[in-house]
Amino acid sequence: MCSRFRTKRIIIIKMDVQSHTMTSLLKSGLRQTTAASPVIGTVLMVAVTLVIAATLMILVMEMAEQAQPDILFDEPYHQGTGTLDDPFLIRSIEQLSNLRQNLSAHYALEADIDASATADWNDGAGFLPIGDSDDRFLGSLDGRGHGISGLVIDRPSENSVALFSYLGSGSKISNLTLSDTDIGGRDFVSAISAWNYGTVVNVHVGGDIDGRQWLGAITGRNHGTVDRCSSDSMISANGERVGGLVAHNSGQGVIRDSYVLGAVASPGKEYVGGLLGSNANNGIVERVYSAASVSGGTTNVGGLIGSNDGMVSRSYWDLQTSGQATSGDGEGRTTAQMRSQGNYEDWNFTTVWSIQSGDYPRLR
């Protein structure tokens, strides 16, 4: 049951208790007064009724202010019909939260969104992830180049914690930046999606992501496509399957034209990589790099990939910034080599990538 409705039930119970108590205390006195003077008794009865009504209204308002339910807002979208050609337009974090009410519609941001208010939502638990394993997001969200800043999710005992718990087949998240994120969960924790079976393209993440295992800035487990994405985040874990961009890539999973800066840490643990914790079942990784610092255990820890049982091509990691001499796959380069365009074989520096002197490649 949604806590929105639990909150209403609590308010009703408290109202009943308090109104019953007040009524019981006043009945005996009113009977005596009415017996002595019927007119005075009637006036007092009306006055008492008004006082009780006003008291209960104040009680409801106070409880509504104190309650922070897993929020369902009534704020309408600015415009749009929810189709691909006419998406619902979003301009507030409340409207973004409303996506959960129609998981197959199409949405677009109309402006940058300040999500810092989510720090106080749900008694400090923050934003409630959209969808779950039974009800996956199947629509699309186009950021149109806008960003969401200050998103907070603090659910350390919960799994599948992210903006979207599950992105289903056919879903798409695109052209979006999440900055100053502060996201914490248990297993399968990410900024964008805990599980991805759809497409995430041109999405960029910055902030802190904490949890136990299966952590990545874009997704915890990828069975879809991650294309032209990046992260400059601090990923902190204490378990296995941890990557700067994706924790685990498997099956039909594809990661291409993406990069990671920042840091990835899961001390003493396996399957930890600068960009990807593990790649399995012929998962595809191509034209990616990591310059993140990486710390983990002594086996299956790599500058780019922790372990690889898939296909990796034209991908690199920075030997110096990562602190890792080996990787499950990819080619290690010095920082100077990583900052030279000539060392990126068959990369598209015309329409996909750009590079400035003395810097790493960036996505256009």
- Does one domain contain both 161 and 34? no
pLDDT band at 31 (very low <50, low <70, confident <90, very high): low
Domain count for the chain: 2
- What pLDDT score does 47 carry? 53
Rounded distance, CA 183 to CA 154, Å?
6
Assigned domain for 305 exists: yes
Contacts of 174 (CB under 8 A, 6+ apart): 140, 141, 142, 143, 199, 200, 201, 202, 203
Q: Is the pLDDT of residue 323 over 50?
A: yes
Q: 146-170: string of b/e by CB count within 10 Å (b at 16+)?
A: bbbbbbbbbbeebbbbbbbbbbbee
- Does one domain contain both 121 and 60? no
> Are the C-beta atoms of 308 and 335 separated by less than 8 Å?
no
> Are the C-beta atoms of 17 and 11 separated by less than 8 Å?
no
Which residue do the tokens 């992210």 mark? 162
Give the mean pLDDT of 310-332. 98
pLDDT band at 135 (very low <50, low <70, confident <90, very high): very high
- Does one domain contain both 167 and 262? yes
- Does one domain contain both 18 and 161? no
Q: What is the CATH number of the domain that holds 191?
A: 2.160.20.110
Assigned domain for 238 exists: yes
Q: Is the pLDDT of residue 65 over 70?
A: no
Helix or strand (DSSP H, E) at 286: strand 284-290
Per-residue model confidence as pLDDT tens digits over 255-264: 999 999 999 9
> Are the C-beta atoms of 268 and 299 separated by less than 8 Å?
no
Residue 332 forms beta bridges with which residues? 317
Q: Hey, what are 124's tokens?
A: 């400090």
Q: Is the pLDDT of residue 14 over 60?
A: no
Assigned domain for 77 exists: no
Domain limits for position 313: 88-363
Q: What angle do CA 293, 296, 299 make, to 5 degrees?
A: 120
- Does one domain contain both 119 and 155? yes
Rounded distance, CA 213 to CA 351, Å?
35
- Does one domain contain both 186 and 55? no
> Are the C-beta atoms of 89 and 115 separated by less than 8 Å?
no
- What pLDDT score does 56 carry? 45
Assigned domain for 161 exists: yes
Q: Is the pTM of this model over 0.75?
A: yes
Assigned domain for 207 exists: yes
- Does one domain contain both 55 and 136? no
Rounded distance, CA 205 to CA 246, Å?
12
- Does one domain contain both 266 and 117? yes
Q: Is the pLDDT of residue 12 over 90?
A: no
Per-residue model confidence as pLDDT tens digits over 188-210: 999 999 999 999 999 999 999 99
Rounded distance, CA 125 to CA 154, Å?
5
**Of 194, 145, 143, 148, nearest in space to 168 by CA:** 194
- Does one domain contain both 53 and 133? no
- Helices of type H across the chain: 3-36, 38-66, 93-97, 319-322, 335-338
Assigned domain for 81 exists: no
- What pLDDT score does 28 carry? 52
Give the mean pLDDT of 20-46. 51
Q: Hey, what are 110's tokens?
A: 């109309």
pLDDT band at 77 (very low <50, low <70, confident <90, very high): confident
- Does one domain contain both 343 and 287? yes
Assigned domain for 82 exists: no
Which amino acid is located at 72 in the chain?
Answer: L
Rounded distance, CA 191 to CA 181, Å?
7
Assigned domain for 103 exists: yes
Residue predicted with more confidence, 29 or 303: 303
- Candidate from 47-56, 95-104, 237-246, 355-364 with smallest mean pLDDT: 47-56
- Does one domain contain both 17 and 159? no
Per-residue model confidence as pLDDT tens digits over 34-63: 555 655 555 445 554 554 555 545 443 444
- Does one domain contain both 93 and 62? no
